[in-house]
Amino acid sequence: MQHLDTLLTQSAIAGCKACFQVDVLASTIQIQQTRKEFEGHRTIVVFPLTRVSKKSPEETGKQLGEWLMEHEPLVVGFQIVKGFLNLSISSVFWSEQLVSALNVSEYGIAPLNSLPRVMVEYSSPNTNKPLHLGHLRNNFLGFSVAKILRAAGHEVIKVQIINDRGIHICKSMVAWKRYGNGETPESSGIKGDKLVGKYYVAFDVEYKKEIAVLISEGTPEDDAKKSAPILLEAQNLLHQWERGDAEVVELWKKMNAWVYAGFEGTYSEMGVSFDKLYYESDTYLLGKAQVEKGLKNGVFFQKEDGSTWIDLSDEGLDEKLVLRKDGTSVYMTQDIGTALMRYEEFPGLDRQIYTVGNEQEYHFKVLFKILSKLGIEGAERNFHLSYGMVELPEGKMKSREGTVVDADDLLVEMAETAKRMASELGKINDLSEQEKATLFKQVGYGALKYFLLKVSPQKSMMFDPAASVDFIGNTGPFIQFNFVRARSVLRKCIDEGIPTNIESVDASAWDESELRIIQQALNWPEIVQLAAAQYDPSVIANHGYELTKAYSRWYQDHSVLKEPNEAKCTARVALTQMYTRQIEAAMALLGIEMPERM
């Protein structure tokens, strides 16, 4: 479509020269898709031209339209509505564009490495509890953005950093030592991450009890919170870990391994993956060296108590701590080290995309500034893919109040809902049990992914577990359903000997609704680029929905198999093919699989 608009712009510029004797800039020619209530395909907005034409919008449009009719072969008709010049484009053009799009292998997908190498970080869980709904949004988002960037031409490296170290895991360790009696995932049959999470909860229960006891003995609340024995024990474990105490490190390794096995199960169900994993325990010391180097260069400064800071007040930010007075690192220290390490490990890395919730916006603003001051070329190109929280009707998820929506549970529920719907409809009774199981996951997970990705990332969103995720309307299954119908048509074409290798379509075979769908579909390459530029899967989701909606409407009153006119039949096969290929590609960018039947 860009191609078409470029041609039309050039013609319009020539037209302005001929009609009004002025040179106009390309930016003055505004072209958009004609709204569906008007005749025509592309619209030139005339208002900006009235300044040079010195005529009314209607008169300006009329002169330009007449000139284009004569001199631009693509334009076969025009109409002026107020200040809008609506151009009808030759259906031969649409026909040819469609066929050529059908004959490239991955229409709209840019060649790999045509754009620079980028890194997408997502997930980044703590290892003390299982993944929840918030992680689902995070993971689907990061995974999808990685795919979109790849489709736009970037080389993409998907990574996560695992927060495997710190007080949180020590809490689980203490509780397991106290109450675990050697329980393991194998002995209990509990998934590893769930088991560790169980002891994190057990810690919290005991911690609260001890605080209550202390308070009843007359200890002020603040002191009680700091001096509860179980907390001290956890802190002690953390110190032992940092000193490398063999027994503690072994327990830490053991419990983390349980968690990783559990996470791996969830990731695999979700269909997300990573190219490289980073562990905080490997990287948390790296930042220190960088900070010390920066201290010598004057990027950082030390306060009297020995803590290290950066002053970003002239950037509109505050002073920010990068090393504690005891020399231990904070979150920022670690992120500095990890970032610099990644630049070294992946030469030519153009930027990093951090998929992290919007509560950390300030943190990343500071991080990017620091990286820039440390001399990273293009550090300001780094992007915090910030997303809003997923909220429940009663507010935020709180693990302490048990309102957390568990990722594994939700996935199971989604597949079950798909199963329930499918058995009510009874269209797939002849599939094998295994085929059915696959289908229920495709549909159920598809519904969930679409639900979470169709909303712009920055917006916080509502999730009502009671209302559940819809399967009708603007949903993943609606798109899958239309795909399945279209595929079914194409299969039957093959059965009935109707050719599906389309090399040309007679332009006279199209009706207006079809030309409109073609036009919509030909926007695909730009949609991919736009989604990549904005790091926004919802752009893809919306396009997929609009295209599907149009196809579904068309499907209702255009039969392919029963169309007697051969040229029309061919045209409809081509359109159906275009639809199935594009929608499959689009959904793939969202991580949604398409079934053959449903």
According to CB under 7 A, which residues from 218 to 257 bind RNA?
Answer: none
Interaction of residue 47 with RNA, rule CB under 7 A: yes
- Compute how many other C-beta atoms are within 10 angstroms of the C-beta atom of residue 236: 13
Interaction of residue 331 with RNA, rule CB under 7 A: yes
Interaction of residue 82 with RNA, rule CB under 7 A: yes
By CB under 7 A, the residues from 441 to 460 that bind RNA are 443, 454-456, 458-460
What angle, rounded to 10 degrees, do the helices at 192-216 and 246-270 form?
120
- Compute how many other C-beta atoms are within 10 angstroms of the C-beta atom of residue 218: 7
Q: Select 373 or 485, whichever has its Cβ closest to RNA.
A: 485
Interaction of residue 321 with RNA, rule CB under 7 A: yes
* Residue 3: HSE in the Cβ half-sphere, 13 Å Cα cutoff: 9
Report which residue type is found at 309.
W
**How many whole angstroms separate alpha carbon 126 and alpha carbon 279?**
10
Interaction of residue 560 with RNA, rule CB under 7 A: yes
**Contacting residue, 3, 17, 35, 398, with RNA by CB under 7 A:** 35
**Contacting residue, 74, 461, 507, 588, with RNA by CB under 7 A:** 461
* Residue 354 parent element (H or E): strand 351-357
Q: Select 349 or 598, whichever has its Cβ closest to RNA.
A: 598
Q: Select 319 or 377, whichever has its Cβ closest to RNA.
A: 319
Site stretch for RNA (CB under 7 A), options 4-12, 14-22, 33-41, 106-114? 33-41
By CB under 7 A, the residues from 344 to 383 that bind RNA are 358-363
Q: Select 574 or 598, whichever has its Cβ closest to RNA.
A: 598
Q: Select 117 or 597, whichever has its Cβ closest to RNA.
A: 597
Q: Select 225 or 363, whichever has its Cβ closest to RNA.
A: 363
Burial (CB count within 10 angstroms: exposed 0-12, middle 13-18, buried 19+), residue 215: middle
Interaction of residue 66 with RNA, rule CB under 7 A: no
Site stretch for RNA (CB under 7 A), options 139-147, 182-190, 193-201, 464-472? 464-472
> Any residues with CB less than 8 A from the CB of 449 and at least 6 apart, and which?
140, 476, 590, 591, 592
Q: Do residues 594 and 480 make contact, with C-beta atoms less than 8 angstroms apart?
A: yes
What angle, rounded to 10 degrees, do the helices at 133-151 and 246-270 form?
70
> Any residues with CB less than 8 A from the CB of 80 and at least 6 apart, and which?
46, 58, 61, 62, 65, 86
Interaction of residue 577 with RNA, rule CB under 7 A: no
Interaction of residue 166 with RNA, rule CB under 7 A: yes
**How many whole angstroms separate alpha carbon 137 and alpha carbon 389?**
9
Strands 84-89 and 276-279: unpaired
What angle, rounded to 10 degrees, do the helices at 407-425 and 133-151 form?
80
Interaction of residue 295 with RNA, rule CB under 7 A: no
Interaction of residue 418 with RNA, rule CB under 7 A: yes
Size of the site for RNA (CB under 7 A): 88
**Contacting residue, 11, 34, 127, 338, with RNA by CB under 7 A:** 34
Q: Select 69 or 530, whichever has its Cβ closest to RNA.
A: 530
Q: Do residues 505 and 100 make contact, with C-beta atoms less than 8 angstroms apart?
A: no
Q: Select 214 or 323, whichever has its Cβ closest to RNA.
A: 323
**Contacting residue, 14, 30, 269, 567, with RNA by CB under 7 A:** 30
Distance, CA of 33 to chain centre: 26
